[in-house]
A and B are shown apart, each in its own frame.
Chain A
Amino acid sequence: MPRTEGTYKAQRAAAEGKAPEATKGKKVREHTKMVPVPNDYIIPERDAGKVVLECRHLGIDFGGLHAVEDFNLTVGKTEIAGLIGPNGAGKTTVFNLLTKVYQPTRGTIMLDGVDTAGMSTDRVCREGIARTFQNIRLFDSLTVADNVKIGLHNQIACTMAEGIFRFPRHWISENEFQKRALELLDVFGMADNADDIAGSLPYGAQRRLEIVRALATNPKLLLLDEPAAGMNPVETEELMGNIRKIRDDFQIAILLIEHDMDLVMGICEGIAVLNFGKIIAKGTPEQIQANPQVIEAYLGKQGED
């Protein structure tokens, strides 16, 4: 069911008062106070009691391989969380489990208190999980505006017959689509590119458009799969600003996979480290940086010989 929570501007106005303050500093990072939640994990103090995602004992097997095993994670409603780990650790598999590209073999996923068991990918999106992809997946032959409008698909109603025979609702909904698509693009300064073909955009803009499209689905949780891949430090810095902006303006949770440690340590509040399909460490950036198991996973064992 489409959740009608008004336009983006209304959301932003509503969010104005209670926006978290941990976002002003550029270089000097303010530390979010983290509090424990029942299942051995932590979420930001401001989200206490407000959990958007809870994975319990999540697991999937491919043949005999336990690709992901006993995965437990909790994300607060306005948290920026990170999922890191060496290549092949199973990070993208976790995303595919959350979005039901794969159905989990074991365990449960609770999204804002709703068990997503048995849901299809498109259903999970309607329930509130949006994502971007490691290898960009845009609707290449369509315009930038159309890409966003497709993201808005479930937000604005109009049946096929109404569209074919041009009922009044078609025109009303098309105006709404156009207005909201431009509003969303404007947040990322892409409104001028609205009529360009998505496939012809430069790489960085394509990445941004993918995020805008995901946001258009009005998610509660946004999954970003290596958003900084292929970006230079300047672009990464800009991206970090954008991710914070999304969280503050839209008041949603963000879970990101990333190899760029400056980005992860710079904006993530809670971090989970995955290796060989298992979580080996969870905690704040400081705890993760000091964790010997994490260092071992990334760099190998120390001082054997």
Chain B
Amino acid sequence: MEKLKSMSHATRSKLITIGMVVVAYFVMTGLMSAGAVSNSTIGLLIPICAYSCLAISLNLVVGISGELSLGHAGFMSVGAFTGVVMAQMLDGVIAADPMRLLVAMIAAAAMAALAGFLIGIPVMRLHGDYLAIVTLAFGEIIKNVLNNLWLGYDGDGLHVSMSNAAALNLEEGGKILINGPQGASGIARLSTFTAGVLLILFTLIVVMNLVDSRSGRAIMAVRDNRIAAESVGINTTRYRLMAFVVSAALAGMAGALYAMNYSSIVPKKFDFNTSILILVFVVLGGMGNIRGGIISATLLTILPEKLRFIGDFRMLIYAVVLIGVMLVSNNEAVKAVVTNLTSRFRRKGSKKPAATAVKGGGENA
């Protein structure tokens, strides 16, 4: 305990976030083995993990790099379909499921990073609202490309077509991997809750280590003041692009995890609404606040399911809850109470906490 107190604020915050995820994992596995969790909740675990990873990765762009990106679901879908294709092609090549999932995720990350890089080059010439609109457009472009993509596999290798399934000219016994708007089906359900939690931990460590490093400081410098960052010799485009690509790669991995939880997946799933959903997680959790993003992704994934009993009013209540949380969390009186409470738990003589909370950004992961 003493050791925990002597650590720097950033390190402590990091360990608390990781500890929170690990504890949640053991509590959930404990409850599941005791049979105390309903099937519908178990079905939500992997999506929660995937959305948490997406929230963390989008936080890198929105909170740390300070760019509003509205196309995150695009990278998720690139990762999802790459992962699915990879897993199917490796069926029989790699016997162990976790290994196959891992390789599929790495491929997903690489492909999503490539997509992020290609999109990032034109997008990073822009700033603010313009950037947001263009990322939105690219998200839709990815969705529509995948909607018109047929991918098959036979003895000759991979066949690609942008018109229809027949144009693939597959041999006898060839397999269609991606079937245009119908997406991928017959997916091997490789994702597990454990894999999901491991991916959250990986994503967390990547993002938090990045923030607390030379490159992370440069990224935050560009967010705080681009002109000043340039004036001290930082190549702003390069660092914004770095954050964007890392974020895309992580989103790709989360997409692969998400897709391999279902037996079929369609491109339409990764539309603008999904991008906004991820953005809502980030904004509700607090921009730049990684821990908050995980919590809000979890709660907002559970909420619509738990509201099923009120039928059609479900999304209405969902919206009301969102507005309620925003109002309450921005209320000065509530904030004062929270600061008061947290300061009691902090070590005596520390003068830091109030200052770090000011902008909600920066290091308070």
**Which residues of A are interface residues toward B (Cβ below 8 A)?**
99, 101, 120-123, 125-126, 130-131, 133, 137-142, 146, 149-151, 153-154, 156, 158-160, 163-166, 170, 173-174, 177, 195-197, 199-200, 213-214, 216-217
Contact = CB atoms under 8 A, between A and B. Distances in A.
A139 B220 contact: yes
B224 interface: yes
Contacts of B246: 160, 164
B233 to A, nearest CB: 4
A137 B214 contact: no
B242 interface: yes
A146 B206 CA distance: 20
Contact of A150 (B221, B227, B362): B221
Contacts of B216: 163
19 contacts: A99-B231, A122-B235, A131-B231, A133-B227, A137-B225, A138-B224, A139-B220, A139-B224, A154-B233, A156-B214, A158-B214, A163-B209, A163-B213, A164-B213, A164-B215, A170-B214, A197-B356, A199-B359, A213-B232
A199 B355 CA distance: 10
Contacts of B221: 139, 142, 150
A214 B229 CA distance: 11
Interface in B203-228: 206, 209-210, 213-218, 220-221, 224-225, 227-228
A197 to B, nearest CB: 4
B253 to A, nearest CB: 14
Interface residues of B, number: 32
A173 B206 contact: no
A163 B210 CA distance: 6
Contact of A149 (B217, B227, B236, B355): B217
Nearest to A195: B352
B345 to A, nearest CB: 20
Nearest to B238: A122
List 7 tightest A-B contacts by C-beta distance, closest first: A163-B213, A125-B233, A137-B228, A139-B224, A141-B359, A121-B230, A160-B215
Contacts of B276: none
B196 to A, nearest CB: 21
Contacts of A137: 225, 227-228, 231
B210 A217 contact: no
Nearest to B205: A164
Contacts of B233: 122-123, 125-126, 153-154, 217
A163 B225 CA distance: 22
A158 B213 CA distance: 9
A138 B233 CA distance: 14
Contact of B232 (A141, A173, A217): A217
A214 B214 contact: no
B317 to A, nearest CB: 35
A163 B228 contact: no
Q: Which of A130, A163, A165 has the most CB of B within 10 A?
A: A163
A216 B228 CA distance: 13
Contacts of A141: 220, 224, 358-359, 361-362
B201 interface: no
A139 B228 contact: yes
Contact of A125 (B206, B215, B231, B356): B231
Nearest to B218: A153
A214 to B, nearest CB: 7
B277 interface: no
B234 interface: yes
Given A131-B231, A216-B232, A140 B214 contact: no
Contacts of B224: 138-142
Q: Which of B216, B234, B352 has the most CB of A within 10 A?
A: B234
A299 to B, nearest CB: 34
A122 B227 CA distance: 10
Given A138-B228, A217-B233, A164 B209 contact: yes
Nearest to A154: B233
Contacts of A150: 217-218, 221, 229, 232, 234
B362 A142 contact: yes
Nearest to A177: B214
